[in-house]
Structure 1
Amino acid sequence: MRQRKFAVIWRFLCPAAPLFLLSLLCSMLNTLFTALTPQIIRSAVDSIIGSQPFQDLPAPLIQWLSSLTFEKALLWAAAGVLAVSGLAALFGFLSRTGTAMCSERFVKGIRDTLFTHIQKLPFAWHTAHQTGEIIQRCTSDVEVIRSFVTTQCLEAFRVLFLVFVSFVLMFSMSVKISLVALAFLPVVVIYSLFFYAKMAQRFLAADEAEGELTTDVQENLTGVRVVRAFGREAYEVGKFDEKNQRFSDLWIRLGKLMSVYWACGDLLCGFQILAVLLVGVGETVSGAITPGTFLAFLTYNAAMIWPVRGLGRVLSEMSKAGVSIERVGEIMDAQEEQFPAEPKIPDWKGNIVFDHVTFGYGGEEPVLRDVSFTVPAGTTFAILGGTGSGKSTVAALLTRLYDLGPGEGRITIDGIDLRDIPQSELRRNIGLVLQEPFLYSKTVEENIKATRPAASREEVRRAAGVACVDQALAEMALGYDTIVGERGVTLSGGQKQRVAIARTLLSQAPVLLLDDSLSAVDTETDERIRGALLREAMGTTLILISHRVTTLMKADHILVLEDGRVAEEGTHEELIARNGPYHRVYEIQMSQDDRRLLAGEGGEA
């Protein structure tokens, strides 16, 4: 598990490793120059203000300092403090600048890789994961990882180096006091590790609760029209409040645990400083060490003990980062859509064959059972079925949103197995319009041009005319420049479907697949769109999927699905004559207005 987490970090840190190492080096140099200041003060107190001879300095420097007057020696000591402080500040600046650059390069790599990877994941993966949870993993969890790797890890290295330098200097001044100071460090470390284990569990629970809360907000905002239409505001507020309360309670519990940790840490550090102070005073009074040495010792101890206690913050961040790395790693480990080893590209005449296809979602009961049919190239093929009959599954399989497994049959286009055709090639040549189309929060024209950004305004108008949405746009103040609200919320259901049809028509795909995409338009508009499609799509393989008979009755061939099986197939006239499932649906659905409309078209079958 730890190797896996390290591999995830190294994968993204590697490109920024030079900056990381440079920041680490500058941080160490900052620590070294900072550590020189107490030594200068020690010499000033003992040998300039006091009468002790200069120690631990090169002989020429000792001789030169001894020849100076009191005032000059004190000025040179002050200049020395300013010089080393300036160098420490310079390297501190370089370290922080390098850390900022490394941090952004690191997090950019994670975001880019995550987003690209998510685009390549199968549709089944997306249906199994909530949108809010995915967003939370790609934002909050990524930020936690960034903070830990590029801030807390550097701080941990700096503290360890500071402890090493401090103890080297402290032992050189007094072994006895150094041992007293050192005795408390294992206690602090063990105590921090104990809390680290406790906090990791609570961070995981809080992180998961945050994902649920984000999902709840995302679903509420997405479905705001449904919430308002059914007066569900109070219910949604109550549901959000319940999850928000749980989220708050988890963070309060975590906050209490961290409060105990910091309070006990302060107490331990206070005892350590008190012990060093008492022993140090005794050593100074007895003459074992000089006052300057004692002052320098206290400075090193204070500079060391508080960052050591701060390692607990690093450990707590490590617990958060461990959870976040695991959650991000789960996305990165998800298997991308598989491309055929030897891809084959059809010439796209559009001849489609379903050969004994049986399919179920995730190992559940089959939705399609031994379904076989052929769609001749350039024809209009219709699929009729009620809810749960499997008609939308046909569309999902044809566009490879889901793949058939071994023994589940075969689907071919122009004689080539669907699994041998690259997904990008397949979806570029099959124009799909869903019952609930997604529209971007852009202008209507930009939404239509999504499949062909380089299309001209005239081509956009032509596609909109075939989809019978041009008249509705003409009635809008800004026409094609009308801004569509998020997910198309400012348009009616029928208008959204027609904009989506225009968008697909503009792609000029050789196969058009309309999956119940006329369900939100009235019968008359339905007829106009179908007529325009049949005229416009000459030579194009057109597949119409619907539960509405009037949408399908003029197709060259009609397939009727019931409970995932082929109930019957044929032309409209043939199916009516058989007096089977199609005829029953026809009789139920055909209203007086529908019959008048058909009579106006040339008579009823």
Structure 2
Amino acid sequence: MKKNILLYSAAILCVAIATFIGTLEPLVIKVTIDNVIGNIPVNSSNKVNYFINKIGGISYLQKNLWICGLTLVILTLVRGLFLYYRGKWSAKASENIAKSLRDKLYDHIQHLPYDYHVKTEAGDLIQRCTSDVETIRKFLSNQLVEMGRGIFILVFSLIVMFSLNVKMTLVSMSTVPIIFGFSLMFFSKIKDIFNEADEEEGKMTTVLQENLWGVRVVRAFGREKYEIDKFDNVNKRYQNILYKLYSLLGTYWSVSDFLCMIQIASVLIFGIYFTLIGDISLGTLVVFLNYEIKLLWPVRQLGRILSEMGKMTVAKKRIYQILNEKVEEDKEGEKKPKILGNIEFKDVHFEYDKGQPILNGISFKINKGEKVAIVGQTGSGKSSLIHLLGRLYDYNGGSIKIDGVELREINKKWIRSNVGTVLQEPYLYSRNIEDNIKIAKKDATKEEVIFSARNASVHEVIESFEKGYETMLGEKGVNLSGGQRQRIAIARTLIKSSPILIFDDSLSAVDTETDRKIKEALKEKSKGVTTIIISHRISSIMDSDKIIVLDKGKIAQMGSHNELIKVEGIYKRIWDIQKSIENEWNDTIVS
């Protein structure tokens, strides 16, 4: 709020002026009823008498009663003008704060550790960055200023009421403490339900998001009914919590309405009695009835303000759960050495959760410009090894050195800018193909984009599209085949010219012929570049300088293709199986 204090101060000042003018309106009616129409003499010491004499006196007003009406109209117009600016400035301030908060959240999320994103549901994050921010914006736009308005109404009205009649003022305030206490009790109950509702909305958003992103899987396996039932369950839980919330709100408003009506009735009954015995004038009774409605409004609104405050408090808590998460920060003294591509793992140990080792004593060496393949069963630690190289996680024990520098001592952003990674499941944005390739290098020329696309064996495919490189992609590149997505992702990585290239099973969705073309293009492109390939397809890694076979977090075998197929072990078994399948397939085609 720091940068918007001036706007909020202006809005509250407008509220104060509008409220003060609103306090004058019933007094104009009182003077009209008592002094102009009722002929009750005006107290000579009264400031009102000064203004009446300036206009022309009571006799003049009696002949020109329209002046009293016009005064009310002018006061109402001026009050409306100040309320307009109050709404304008408070809305502007709250929108500024909401934008600032959204920007802060987005920036913070971008810098959170990889592990946080792996463990957090995207739907819940989206809900916190949208609905929860909107809840705070609404409170700051409406309820915060309304609190100020309520205080001003209370102060101005009580000053005038006590000056007119103390007994009637006490009658007017008799049920206010009860309504106030009931509002506080209501606030204590409603806050927890708001929190439950927010959490259930987040779960519902997650289910919806997963279904929309995985719609092809749902259709392919005929899982529509299962997904509908799954959504129906979370929707019912959300509905039940909202029903409980609205039941509480309904109880509050009905009880507070009942108490307010009792209060107005008591003012009317006692006011008529005091008027009949001559204790107050008819105009004073009208003033008290008018002020009573004005007074009860902020007291009654207290429940709404408190409930919105409860909702805002929950939203703020959920937002700050994100903002309080530690971001990846550059540590003092971190190095930015020239990366050539020499990599050394020495007795490396790593685990995601304590007591569950993923890599257990891994040691190997890769020289600059070498092409190294990593194979192994699912869960053997292949991807974890790659995560360590990009410092998405830090190893628990041992040593990893890049060109002789300990990896932990190298700046995270620096090492990632020098390591090009093509993931197994590439993510393409809803932009055109050229922009997707240029993500890794924003200032890349069109010639560089085409060159990297040729190396990834996807240029001809792109040119076959009606709009070529300007072709817009659907969410996650849904309008492309799996192989086309992977090749565009490869082109995106190659455009950066990184000294270390990692292919995390990224050729799995391309056919054998395309695989061969990509490898031939990469031979020229990757001269002097350290290349690491994770693959289950041995035909893609046969020409590697070194093949590392992982098994249950340890190196089971290491050597060239020709060396490994001569030794009984995991690699030879995979090779025999794949060769057998390939031979059977070729025989089938021939026959």
TM-score w.r.t. length of structure 1: 0.93
Larger CA deviation: 46-55 vs 185-194: 46-55
Is the 1:449–1:506 contact (alpha carbons within 8 Å) kept by the matching residues of 2?
yes
Equivalent residues in 2 for 1:243-392 (5 A)? 243-392=234-383
Which residue in 2 is equivalent to 1:494? Answer: 483
Aligned to 1:171: 162
Mapping of residues 426-505 of structure 1, within 5 Å: 426-505=415-494
Determine if contact 1:220/1:236 at 8 Å carries over to the other structure.
Answer: yes
Provide the rounded CA distance (Å) in 1 between the counterparts of 2:580 and 2:488: 28
Q: 2:557 is matched with which residue: 559, 568, 576?
A: 568
**Aligned twin of 1:602:** none
The change in CA–CA distance for 1:596 and 1:237 in structure 2 (over 3 A counts) is: closer
One-letter amino acid matched to 2:350: F
Q: For residue 208 of structure 1, report the CA deviation from its aligned partner.
A: 0.9
CA RMSD in angstroms comes to 1.8
CA separation in 2, counterparts of 1:417 and 1:48? Answer: 93
Bigger mean CA deviation after superposition, 148-157 or 75-84: 75-84
Q: Cα distance, 1:49 vs. partner?
A: 0.8
Q: Following TM superposition, by how much is the alpha carbon of 1:175 offset from its aligned partner in structure 2, in angstroms? A: 0.8
Structure 1 residue matching 2:175: 3-state secondary structure: helix
Instruction: Look up the match of 1:126.
Output: 117
Find out whether 1:38 has 2:26 as its counterpart.
yes
Structure 2 gap ranges (5+): 587-591
Indicate the larger mover: 419-428 or 435-444.
419-428
CA distance in 1, matches of 2:452, 2:284: 87
Query: Conserved in 2, the CA contact under 8 Å of 1:523 and 1:594?
Result: no
Matching residue's letter, 1:188:
I
Q: CA deviation at 1:28?
A: 0.9
Superposed, 1:545-556 pairs within 5 Å as: 545-556=534-545
Matched, 1:57 2:47: yes
CA spacing shift, 1:520–1:484, aligned 2, 3 Å:
same
Q: Post-superposition shift, 1:150?
A: 2.6
- Aligned partner of 1:600 in structure 2 is none
Are residues 483 and 69 of structure 1, via their aligned partners in 2, closer, same or farther at CA, if it must alter by over 3 Å?
closer
Deviations 1:330-389 (A, max 9, x none): 000011013221121111111112222111113250111111112211211111111001
Say if 2:432 and 2:471, in contact at 8 Å, map to a contact too.
yes
Which range is displaced more, 95-104 or 473-482? 473-482
Superposed CA offset, 1:205-242 (max 9, x none)? 11111001000010001111111111111111111111
In 1, the alpha carbon distance for the partners of 2:91 and 2:463 equals: 52
Look up the SS of the partner of 2:375 in the other structure.
strand
User: Is the Cα contact below 8 Å between 1:203 and 1:323 reproduced in 2?
Assistant: yes
Q: Which amino acid aligns with 1:546?
A: S
Q: Using the alignment, how far apart are the partners of 1:243 and 1:77 within structure 2?
A: 61
* Amino acid in the other structure paired with 2:340: K
Aligned to 2:72: 81
Residue aligned with 1:328, SS = helix
Instruction: Report deviation, 1:166.
Output: 0.9
Matches within 5 A, 1:142-157: 142-157=133-148
In structure 1, runs of 5+ residues without a counterpart are 1-12, 598-605
Number of the residue aligned with 2:589:
none
**C-alpha spacing 1:472/1:363, structure 2 compared with 1 (3 Å):** same
Are the equivalent residues in 1 in contact too, given 2:36–2:58 (CA < 8 A)? no
In 2 relative to 1, CA 381–312 (structure 1 residues): closer, same or farther, beyond 3 Å? same
Shift of residue 528, structure 1, vs aligned partner? 2.2
Q: Aligned partners of 2:298, 2:78: CA distance in 1, in Å? A: 21
Q: How many residues align?
A: 583
What is the DSSP-based 3-state SS (H/G/I as helix, E as strand, rest coil) of the residue aligned with 2:47? Answer: coil
Once the two structures are TM-superposed, the CA of residue 479 in structure 1 deviates from its matched residue by 2.9
For residues 82-137 of structure 1, the C-alpha deviation after alignment (integer angstroms, 9 at most, x for no partner) is 33223212211111111111011110110000000000000100111100000000
The Cα offsets for residues 519-556 of structure 1, whole Å up to 9 and x where unpaired, read as: 11223322221222122111111111112222222111
CA contact (8 A) 1:397 1:404 kept: yes
Distance 1:259 1:270, change over 3 A: same
Structure 2 distance, partners of 1:313, 1:232, is 43
For 2:157, the aligned partner's letter is: S
Distance, in Å, in 2 between the alignment partners of 1:509 and 1:328 is: 37
Counterpart CA distance in 1 for 2:583 and 2:389 is: 32
Residue 281 of structure 1 and its aligned partner are, at CA, apart by: 0.8
What is the distance in 1 between the residues matched to 2:131 and 2:585? 59
Deviation at 1:415, TM superposition (A): 1.8
Structure 1 contact 48–73 (Cα < 8 Å) conserved = no
What is the letter of the counterpart of residue 319 of structure 1? G
Amino acid at match of 1:387: T
What is the letter of the counterpart of residue 47 of structure 2?
Answer: L
How many Å separate the matches in 2 of 1:555 and 1:594? 23
Secondary structure of the corresponding residue to residue 367 of structure 1 = strand
Q: 2:8 aligns with which of 12, 20, 27?
A: 20
| Preserved contact between residue 37 and residue 62 of structure 2 (Cα < 8 Å) | no
For the residue of structure 1 that corresponds to 2:332, the secondary structure is coil
Q: For residue 548 of structure 2, what is the aligned residue in structure 1?
A: 559
Q: Which residue type is aligned with residue 577 of structure 2?
A: I
Q: What letter corresponds to residue 115 of structure 1 in structure 2? A: Y
- Structure 1 residues 557-587: Cα deviation after superposition (integer angstroms, max 9, x where no partner): 1111100101121222222233332222211
Is the CA contact 2:190–2:310 (under 8 Å) kept in the aligned structure 1? yes
Aligned partner of 1:8 in structure 2 is none
Higher deviation after alignment, 552-561 or 48-57: 48-57
CA distance in 2, matches of 1:522, 1:387: 22
Secondary structure of 2:364's aligned partner: strand
Cα shift at 1:417: 2.1
